[in-house]
């Protein structure tokens, strides 16, 4: 069973305590500890700040000397319709696919929100089975610690120093400004600005041997958009700087699947004859795109530009060399 992140548990307990609206500062510490070790005053202030940044409308009521939500706001009186319940159940299925402490925390939160409904949800909503066959993103204890450090750095806008091993086994020390995390292909990645390379880069968390917060701060560029960053890559992990516009033609049998599979990407859909489609894709990594096209088999064909066609021929030649000679 996946281990629920301790900080996530404390945050959920803190939400419940604020909803009760009867606890002082020290009372909040005791309430969320629930018989365990008391969080330090500094930790509690940090947790309260996290909730405020997430738009939970809590405040300190000086008249009563308690922390509570603003009047009219309560997690115990959510009006959940069938569509919202369906979304929450889908969220739980997504959490199951993610796995690890992040998936467990999402699942716990979704369960609590469903339980906080007003009773109008269908009785079997919590048991509706929605399959999301995504690769599980598991983190070992070291990588989990790296994730927490990077999350803290991103939240407090502090530069983090990492010891990194790239896919070729080369080790280096980098100072990065974290912009966020991506989950793709069963792995976690950090997107940020690499001060050594003076460019935005993506780092696999399982390739980070250590991460250390520094006292240096940074400002995240206001124009940076994570969704736009991911839309330039099939996997969501942009590895190149140049943009390539490529046209791929899909036969009618797989046209709908191809359109759905590329919905996150920066692309145009051009209707073809007899139900086929052309996708005009704008990507950062041409090699990644070529391998994606091959994954559709003979029912997908690269149309252009010439530079992409040349790259595909080279790739196919490399593949063909593995199968030369008589089978043994």
Q: Cβ atoms within 10 A of the Cβ of 269, count?
A: 14
**Nearest-angstrom CA–CA distance, 274 and 246:** 22
pLDDT in tens, 19-71: 888 999 999 999 888 877 888 888 888 888 888 877 788 999 988 999 998 88
pLDDT in tens, 220-231: 888 888 777 777
Kindly give the parts of the chain with pLDDT less than 50.
1-5, 118-128
The total number of residues written for the chain in this structure: 328
Residue 141: per-residue pLDDT: 82
- Report which secondary-structure segment, H or E, holds 89: helix 82-98
Answer whether 0.85 is exceeded by the pTM. Answer: no
Residue 100: per-residue pLDDT: 61
Residue 120: per-residue pLDDT: 45
How far CA 298 is from CA of 78, 234, 250, 288, 301, in Å, comes to: 50, 19, 9, 18, 7
């Amino acid at each position: 069973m996946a281990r629920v992140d301790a900080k996530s548990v404390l945050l959920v307990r803190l939400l419940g305590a604020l909803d009760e609206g009867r606890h002082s500062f020290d009372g909040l510490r005791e309430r969320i500890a629930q018989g365990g070790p008391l969080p330090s005053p500094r930790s509690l202030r940090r947790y309260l700040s996290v909730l405020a940044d997430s738009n939970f409308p809590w405040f300190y009521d000086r008249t009563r000397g308690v922390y509570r939500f603003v009047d009219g706001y309560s997690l115990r009186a959510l009006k959940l319709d069938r569509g919202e319940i369906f979304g929450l159940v889908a969220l739980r299925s997504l959490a199951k696919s993610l796995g690890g402490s992040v998936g467990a925390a999402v699942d716990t939160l979704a369960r609590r929100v469903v339980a906080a409904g007003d009773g109008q949800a269908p009785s079997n909503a919590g048991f509706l089975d929605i399959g999301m066959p995504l690769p599980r993103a598991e983190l070992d204890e070291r990588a989990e610690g790296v994730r927490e450090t990077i999350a803290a750095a991103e939240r407090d806008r502090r530069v983090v120093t990492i010891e990194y091993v790239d896919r070729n086994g080369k080790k280096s020390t980098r100072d990065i400004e974290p912009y966020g995390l991506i989950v793709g292909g069963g792995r976690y990645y950090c997107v940020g600005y690499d001060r050594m390379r003076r460019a935005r880069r993506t780092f696999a968390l399982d390739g980070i041997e250590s991460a250390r917060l520094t006292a240096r701060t940074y400002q995240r560029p206001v124009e940076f958009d994570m969704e736009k960053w991911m839309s330039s890559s099939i996997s969501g992990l942009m590895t190149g700087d140049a943009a390539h516009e490529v046209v791929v033609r899909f036969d009618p049998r797989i046209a709908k699947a191809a359109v759905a599979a590329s919905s996150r990407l920066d692309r145009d859909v051009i209707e073809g004859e007899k139900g086929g489609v052309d996708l005009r894709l704008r990507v950062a990594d041409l090699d990644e795109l070529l391998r994606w096209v091959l994954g559709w088999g003979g029912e997908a064909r690269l149309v252009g530009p010439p530079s992409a066609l040349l790259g595909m021929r080279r790739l196919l030649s490399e593949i063909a060399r593995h199968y030369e000679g008589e089978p043994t």
